[in-house]
Structure 1
C-alpha cells in the first residue's frame, strides 16, 4: 500500500509530475455530483480530478464519499416511527459504518477512479493484498 501518506506524485514519476494547483477548472455542481456517484468526467477536468485523487487530503475525500451517500438513508431511518433510541442507534450505525468502509476502501477506489479517468494507478493490485 502507500503507507497512508498523501502523495502528490504518481509512482514512477519525478517531482515535476505533482498534482495541479487549486486553480484547476472545477466541474459544475451537477458534474461534481455525477463524479461523486462514480461517473467519468470529460478530459477538460483532468487537472481537477488529478488533484482530487492525488493531492493532499485525498484519503479523507475518498472516505467522505460513502458517508455522503449514506446520509439519505440515515435521514429516512431517523424519520421512521419508533423509539428515539432505536432510531438514533440506527442512524449512528449507518454513519459510522459508511465512514469506516470509506476509509477501509479508499485506496482501492482511488486506483479504480484513476484508471477510469486514464491515469496510472498509485499502487498495483498486489500491493493492496495482505501478505500471509
Structure 2
C-alpha cells in the first residue's frame, strides 16, 4: 500500500482529496484499526494550544482548569458523535463507497467467538 508524502498528508489532514493511487490508504485511514483514535487526535490536537492560552489569564488555577474542562468535555462529545458522519463524508469526497465505514474488520476467530457467545 502506497503512503502519501508529507505534503500530501498535510493537505489530506486539511481536507483535500488525495490522488486515486492513494485511495487504498484513505480507506485504511478512515475505516481501519484505530480510525477513531486518529480522528480524535486530528480534531482535538490543533485546539489544545487555545486551551493552553487560558492558563495565561490571571486568576486561580482551579478556575482556569474548570474553564478548560467545561470547554473540552462538550468538544469531545461532539467530536465522537460526528465521527461517523465525517468519515462517510471523507469517503464520498474521494469517490469511495461510504458504506465502508459500516463494515468492521473482524478476524475469523473474533467472529467465531462472537457467534458462539451470542448466537444460538
Q: Same fold (TM over 0.5)?
A: yes
- 8 A contact 1:70–1:94 mirrored in 2: no
Q: Tell me if 1:87 matches 2:64.
A: yes
Partner of 2:115: none
User: How far does residue 114 in structure 1 lie from its aligned partner after superposition?
Assistant: 0.3
Residues 1:27 and 1:76: Cα distance change in structure 2 (over 3 Å): farther
Q: Tell me if 1:97 matches 2:74.
A: yes
- 8 A contact 1:66–1:98 mirrored in 2: no
User: How far does residue 51 in structure 1 lie from its aligned partner after superposition?
Assistant: 0.3
1:41-81 residue CA offsets vs partner (Å, 9 max, x unmatched): 22232121110011122223223332123212212222333
The TM-score normalised by the length of structure 2 is 0.68
Distance of 1:120 and 1:78 partners within structure 2? 44
Matches for 1:8-47 after TM superposition, within 5 Å: 24-47=1-24
Distance of 1:28 and 1:84 partners within structure 2? 42
Gaps in structure 2 of 5+ consecutive residues = 101-120
Greater share of helix residues, 1 or 2?
Answer: 2
C-alpha RMSD of the superposition: 2.1
Residues 1:27 and 1:95: Cα distance change in structure 2 (over 3 Å): farther
Matches for 1:110-121 after TM superposition, within 5 Å: 110-121=87-98
Gaps in structure 1 of 5+ consecutive residues = 1-23, 124-132
The DSSP-based 3-state class of the residue aligned with 1:79 is: coil
- 8 A contact 1:60–1:103 mirrored in 2: no
The TM-score normalised by the length of structure 1 is 0.63
Q: Tell me if 1:69 matches 2:46.
A: yes
